[in-house]
Every structure is written in structure tokens, then in C-alpha cells.
Amino acid sequence: MDGFAATASTFERYRALPGGVPEAIRSAILAFSPAPSPPNVLDIGAGTGRIGRAFVAAGDSYVGVDLSLEMLRQFTPPSGTLGVRVPRLVQADGEQLPFRDATFDVGLFTQVLSGARHWRRLLTEALRVLRVQGVLVVGHTELPQTGIDARLKNRLHAILDQLRVEPPQPKQGRKEQLSWLESVARRRASVVAASWKAGRTPREFMARHRTGARFRVLPPAIQEEALRELGAWAEAEFGSLDSTFTETHSFILDMFGF
């Protein structure tokens, strides 16, 4: 079943990256990769193409894989790129990739691994299809530890704990994943590909979180109760759900060469 079918059409409403950020991500990856131009790029968990479009626009040999067909249907070509190489979009499970061994120069995971239950299977399969001297990249958006998003997330975790629901721990999972990759890689680099200012409101946080993969698997009654309590807390804490706060976001790339 496609768990993202209901939210695919609005996925980028709250998660789109500012102009220039996907291009900066691509540039940082290719600066680390020894692959010839154009590289063969596999984007695992490509989704709606918010990062993949930069590779397509540049004419790279790009393949986007996602378990959700509805998400891939939102992967529209970049505007003004008539005649560029057409991306290959494949609905597939990242744990069972339909590609031969040693096919790709770059394997890309962005905002994917932290929510994966069987991340070792994902990484092992990605390594299988990676060429000699290939590169695996794990990317995520990093927010300030004392920003509004972080405060709301911490409060939501406390609410879920009170409701006897174990909140997700993506940072702990990411640490384990990166340690595992480092143990098998020949080289590693961690870079800030881009930073930008973002205006955030409690209401937008709640709307975005409602469509998040980890939150949506909770029972509907738990979801509604948690968001109701979070909304009440946010109104008391910030004065309004529409109070706007500006904070700096960064996109971090952890890159591993093999």
C-alpha cells in the first residue's frame, strides 16, 4: 500500500527547498565524487524530485527510486529544461533494487534513512549497485537546536511520551547509520552544502508533521490528541499558532567513498 498517496500532491508545500539549494547539494556531491561527467546517479527515496530535479536539469544520468508511485508522479521536469536528459523514475523497494551490480557512481539518500526500520538492508543494497570508487551520500536538513521547530518537536515528543507512545529518535538512528558507513568506507567528508533563512510558524509545523511518515503510522486518535495538546501549548507559549519566527537552516551532506 502507498503510504504517501494521500499527501504526495502537497508534500513540497511544507518541504520545498529554496532556489539554489538543490544545485548546491549537487555541486558538493560531485566535488567529492571522482566519477566522470555526466555521472550515473541513483536517488533512493527520490520522492517528488525536490533534489533530483537539479541533477536532471544538469543533464546527469539520473535514476530516481521510490516505493510510492504517487510521489513519483509529482516528479515534474524542471522548468525551462527542454531537451535535457529525461530522468528514469522507478517504483521499487530500496531493499530490493532492480539494478545490476556496480551500475551507479553516486547513491543518494536524503531525509530517508532516519525513518528506515531496516537501514542496513538499504545501505547494503545501495553498496551492491555502486561502482568501484563510487560514493554514497546521506543528506538531511539541520535546524537550530533552540529554534521554534526544535522546541515544538521536543514538546511533541513529551506529549507522545505521556500518551505512552515511543517518539522517533532520528538523530540516534542517523548516528548509528553514519558510524556503520564509516566503518566500511575508504574515505568520508561532512559538509554544509547550503544554509538559508526560513520563516516558521507553529501552524505550519503541525501541518507538516501531520503528513510525516513516522507520525502518520500512529493511530488516528493518538495523532489528533497529540496535535490538539501541541496546539494548545504553542498558543500559550508563542501567543498564536501563526506567530512567525526566522531561523537558519542548513543542508548537511555526509559523503562516503568506496
79-131: pLDDT as tens digits: 655 556 678 999 999 999 999 999 999 999 998 887 777 899 999 999 999 99
Kindly calculate the radius of gyration of the chain based on its CA atoms and give it in whole angstroms: 19
Range of the domain at 16: 8-143+168-199+247-257
Number of domains composing the chain:
1
Write down the pTM of the prediction.
0.89
Q: Is residue 22 predicted with pLDDT exceeding 90?
A: yes
Domain presence at residue 238:
no
Sign of CA dihedral 64, 67, 71, 72: positive
pLDDT tier for residue 3 given thresholds of 50, 70 and 90: low
What pLDDT score does 212 carry?
A: 78
Q: How far apart are CA 68 and CA 216, in angstroms?
A: 15
Q: What is the DSSP string of 170-231?
A: HHHHHHHHHHHHHHH-SEEEEEEEEEEEEEE-HHHHHHHHHT-HHHHTS-HHHHHHHHHHHH
What pLDDT score does 1 carry?
A: 52
Grid cell at residue 100:
545490476
Domain presence at residue 23:
yes
Domain presence at residue 235:
no
The domain that holds 68 is classified in CATH as 3.40.50.150
Domain presence at residue 230:
no
Segment among 61-65, 189-193, 218-222 with least mean pLDDT: 218-222
Domain presence at residue 161:
no
Domain presence at residue 241:
no
Domain presence at residue 163:
no
Better-predicted residue by pLDDT, 173 or 143: 143
Q: Is residue 222 predicted with pLDDT exceeding 90?
A: yes
Q: Provide the Cα torsion 122, 144, 148, 29; round to 10°.
A: -40
Q: Is residue 132 predicted with pLDDT exceeding 90?
A: yes
Domain presence at residue 208:
no
Percent of the chain with pLDDT over 70: 92
What pLDDT score does 171 carry?
A: 63
Amino acid present at 105 = D
pLDDT tier for residue 78 given thresholds of 50, 70 and 90: low
